[in-house]
A and B are shown apart, each in its own frame.
Chain A
Amino acid sequence: DAGVIQSPRHEVTEMGQEVTLRCKPISGHDYLFWYRQTMMRGLELLIYFNNNVPIDDSGMPEDRFSAKMPNASFSTLKIQPSEPRDSAVYFCASSFLGLAYNEQFFGPGTRLTVL
């Protein structure tokens, strides 16, 4: 298995532009998580899905952020419009409830820089 795949690995954009981050979970996993990592706030959960349905989006910072999971093998995190304070590393992780320790498998992350 290729593991969790994220694209792009790096994204540089200008303030006000729309940014879309993509994630492909491990096949067979029914949970998908989006995390954000910043120096100030560390690693924080933004939203998670179960069977493609958003379950908890209380970590989404504001309405500029949206996430979708149209099918079991693909999810997007969109920021529109982007702001410099959105600069961070965004991780996608997947899991399923039957896994020992409820282990989550992380993708390599997308480093987003908003100028």
Chain B
Amino acid sequence: AQTVTQSQPEMSVQEAETVTLSCTYDTSESDYYLFWYKQPPSRQMILVIRQEAYKQQNATENRFSVNFQKAAKSFSLKISDSQLGDAAMYFCAYTGLNNAGNMLTFGGGTRLMVKP
């Protein structure tokens, strides 16, 4: 079974600074997708960024980028120029390509606080 681990229960960053959230996973599959979801106080799950395991190039979405290290099974999220609206819970998630049900396995989450 796949597992996803987020070792940082809480992180804090100063507004306009950069922060990196860590995620590691365990799988025996060779191809899969990885995601970062943001959950603000509204509880809505918002997809921030996604990565295909067979793509070596790290995904980037505006101020959000990932550092994907396949051999190390690491998938960290970097938020540049942090904004107050970035404060939320962030979840790393995994799904396998061979899994017809597209089931997502989530990490435990990291609470990000942004200081003005």
Contacts and interface: CB of A to CB of B under 8 A. Distances in A.
* Chains A and B are bound partners: yes
Interface of A: 31, 33, 35, 42-45, 48, 50, 55-56, 89, 91, 93, 95, 97, 101-104, 106, 108-109, 111
Given A42-B109, A101-B33, A102-B95, A91 B45 contact: yes
B7 interface: no
Sort chain B's interface into a size bin. Answer: 20 to 34
B103 A103 contact: no
Contact of A31 (B42, B101, B107, B108): B101
B104 interface: yes
B39 to A, nearest CB: 9
Chain B interface SS verdict (over half): loop
A105 to B, nearest CB: 8
Contacts of A31: 101-102
18 contacts: A31-B101, A33-B103, A35-B104, A42-B106, A43-B106, A45-B104, A91-B45, A95-B102, A97-B100, A101-B33, A101-B35, A102-B102, A103-B47, A104-B102, A106-B45, A108-B43, A109-B43, A109-B44
